Amino acid sequence: MYNVQEIRHDFSILKRRVGEKKLVYLDNAATSQKPRRVIEALTEHYEQHNANIQRGVHRLAEEATAAYEGSREKIARFLGAPDSCGLIFTRGTTESINLVAHAWGRKNLREGDEVVLTEAEHHSNLVPWQLAARDTGAKLRFVPILDDGTLDMEEAERLIGPRTKLVSVIHASNVLATINPVERLAELAHDAGALMLVDGAQSAPHLPVDVEALGCDFFAGSGHKMLGPTGVGFLWGRPEILDEMDPFLGGGEMIREVHLDHSTWNDIPHKFEAGTMNIAQAIGLGAAVDYLDELGMENVREHERRLGEYAYRRLSEIEGIVLYGPEEDRTGLVSFSLPDVHPHDLSQILDEEGIAIRSGHHCCQPLMRRLGVAATARASFYLYNTEEEVDALVGAVTRAREFFGAFA
Ligand code: PMP
């Protein structure tokens, strides 16, 4: 039984006040809050087991290594990956995509090749490919967004072809709440002989994910958006592809043998984990995944689906409001704008009521241009948010609308 009030007890920060007001935290797409268990996992690591991993043969090093590698196995299982050797720890989605753009892209892309993205990509799944295209002569192609916020799949079928070497798309949009048909895109990519990368920053925290069922070759995610600490995320890749890739960063631990004039590489995943990693954070992410597993991702999804639908319906009743993204099959976030109110002013006014939302371009400037706006406001929900918090949001947005409307 999913009990949101019980869940909220695990998140001390949700009890705090912002001035006189109760905190209503609706900026989960930017980063989630952390349950006590994750914070305790960090403390326990530092108080009881802290040591560098892989190299040491003393007790603490063995304990820290076992916890770090245990976390790798938990995350691989959480993603439905058949084997944890394909799970690489990174700083987050951004670093994971840069890893692929460097270690796979620089080695495999040539002039005349194409990388297919969409118009709705976060900058972290666009800029790394712009840089790789500049260095290799490859071209970027973009699947357009239809007016309802879904992908133009007819155009995707036309764009993905013999020149395509990689299709790289968001699983779920951090602006539109759209869930993309990545299984179908992976089929199209593979039929064309290309690889498929999924930016899972907004899906792994919210939806059950199974990389085998999705049929992707790479899956990138950020720990801090899924109850874990900042500074850690992951890239899952098919082991046979990772084996063939160049290293990303050079240094300690990623090598097998080093000579003055050349080196050979460690096995995956260590080939991609140069230097001292964010050990405590990786262990903390393991604790976050335990927490999500115990709640059950199907239950988390159902809670957020209901909350998102409720928020979408209640907000749509506000006069003049524009809501972005599809009406159905959404994740639990809502982007919106009000006539006569700049999203920054709106979020400032909401902050005075203790309500934390995000406003801006959400690191999706090309998508903002496609939508014809400079910025939107965005309320994003997570597993601990409640209908009462949605009501607080709707009340505050309505009051702001009336307040600014008076000057219009
Ligand atoms: N992709 C998407 C869809 C995102 O929402 C974000 C974070 N806003 C990222 C990538 C980047 O994640 P990070 O900053 O954790 O690397």
pLDDT in tens, 89-147: 999 999 999 999 999 999 999 999 999 999 999 999 999 999 999 999 999 999 999 99
> Quick check: 269 and 242 in contact, CB under 8 A?
yes
**Neighbouring C-alpha atoms within 13 Å toward the C-beta of 352:** 9
Calculate the average pLDDT of the chain: 97
CB of 168 within 6 A of ligand 1: the answer is no
Residue 211, helix vs strand vs coil: helix
Q: Is the pTM of this model over 0.95?
A: yes
pLDDT in tens, 211-245: 999 999 999 999 999 999 999 999 999 999 999 99
Choice between 339 and 174, residue whose per-residue pLDDT is larger = 174
The per-residue b/e assignment along 276-302, b for 16 or more CB within 10 angstroms, e otherwise, is: ebbbbbbbbbbbbbbbbeebebeebbe
pLDDT at 46: 98
The residue whose CB lies within 8 Å of the most ligand 1 atoms, and thus the one to mutate among 174, 197, 380, is 174
Task: Please state, in angstroms and rounded to a whole number, the distance separating the CA atoms of residues 196 and 216.
Answer: 5
> How far does Cα 316 stand from its chain's mean position?
27
39-294 CATH choice from 3.90.800.10, 1.20.58.760, 3.40.50.300, 3.40.640.10:
3.40.640.10
| pLDDT band of 353, cuts 50, 70, 90 | very high
pLDDT more than 90, % of the chain: 97
pLDDT at 339: 87
The per-residue b/e assignment along 184-218, b for 16 or more CB within 10 angstroms, e otherwise, is: ebbebbbebebbbbbbbbbbbbbbbbebeebbbbb
Closest-CA residue to 192 (of 162, 217, 158, 215)? 162
Section 200-212 average pLDDT? 98
Q: Which residue, judged by its Cα, is nearest atom 6 of ligand 1?
A: 201
Encoded tokens for 165? 């070497």
pLDDT at 148: 96
Task: Please state, in angstroms and rounded to a whole number, the distance separating the CA atoms of residues 279 and 48.
Answer: 14
The residue whose CB lies within 8 Å of the most ligand 1 atoms, and thus the one to mutate among 124, 182, 203, 335, is 124
124 CA → ligand 1 middle, Å:
7
197 CA → ligand 1 middle, Å:
14
**Secondary structure letter of residue 14 according to DSSP:** G
pLDDT at 294: 98
Asked if residue 405 has pLDDT above 80, the reply is no
133 CA → ligand 1 middle, Å:
21
Asked if residue 408 has pLDDT above 70, the reply is no
Section 28-32 average pLDDT? 98
pLDDT in tens, 153-185: 999 999 999 999 999 999 999 999 999 999 999
Q: Which amino acid is at 146?
A: L
Q: Which residue, judged by its Cα, is nearest atom 4 of ligand 1?
A: 201
pLDDT at 197: 99
Choice between 56 and 296, residue whose per-residue pLDDT is larger = 296
The per-residue b/e assignment along 341-378, b for 16 or more CB within 10 angstroms, e otherwise, is: bebebbbebbeebbbbbbbbbbbbebbbebbeeebbbb
Residue 368, helix vs strand vs coil: helix
Encoded tokens for 72? 């790798």
Choice between 272 and 57, residue whose per-residue pLDDT is larger = 272
Q: Which amino acid is at 231?
A: G
Active-site residue, 363 included:
yes
Q: Which amino acid is at 287?
A: A
Encoded tokens for 71? 């976390």
CB of 94 within 6 A of ligand 1: the answer is yes
CB of 93 within 6 A of ligand 1: the answer is yes
CB of 170 within 6 A of ligand 1: the answer is yes
DSSP track, 279-319: HHHHHHHHHHHHHHHHH-HHHHHHHHHHHHHHHHHHHHTST
**Secondary structure letter of residue 376 according to DSSP:** E
Asked if residue 350 has pLDDT above 80, the reply is yes
Q: Domain residue spans in the chain?
A: 4-28+296-405, 39-294
Q: What angle do CA 165, 168, 174 make, to 5 degrees?
A: 170
Please state the atom number of ligand 1 nearest to the C-alpha of residue 224.
Answer: 15
Residue 36, helix vs strand vs coil: helix
pLDDT at 137: 98
pLDDT at 138: 98
Task: Please state, in angstroms and rounded to a whole number, the distance separating the CA atoms of residues 326 and 382.
Answer: 19
Catalytic hit among 85, 216, 363, 364: 363
Task: Please state, in angstroms and rounded to a whole number, the distance separating the CA atoms of residues 340 and 187.
Answer: 44
3-state helix, strand, coil split of the chain in percent (to 5) is 45, 20, 35
* Cα-based distances in Å from 57 to 65, 203, 214, 247, 269: 10, 38, 40, 26, 20
Task: Please state, in angstroms and rounded to a whole number, the distance separating the CA atoms of residues 195 and 135.
Answer: 19
| pLDDT band of 56, cuts 50, 70, 90 | confident
pLDDT in tens, 278-304: 999 999 999 999 999 999 999 999 999
Section 18-25 average pLDDT? 96
Section 33-41 average pLDDT? 98
CB of 65 within 6 A of ligand 1: the answer is no
Alpha-carbon radius of gyration of the chain: 22
Task: Please state, in angstroms and rounded to a whole number, the distance separating the CA atoms of residues 118 and 170.
Answer: 8
CB of 201 within 6 A of ligand 1: the answer is yes
Using DSSP bridges, classify how beta strands 333-337 and 322-323 pair: parallel, antiparallel or unpaired.
antiparallel
**Secondary structure letter of residue 324 according to DSSP:** -
Using DSSP bridges, classify how beta strands 355-356 and 24-25 pair: parallel, antiparallel or unpaired.
parallel
Identify the residue whose tokens are 């990388």. Answer: 115
Task: Please state, in angstroms and rounded to a whole number, the distance separating the CA atoms of residues 227 and 162.
Answer: 40
Specify the CATH number of the domain 4-28+296-405: 3.90.1150.10
pLDDT at 55: 80
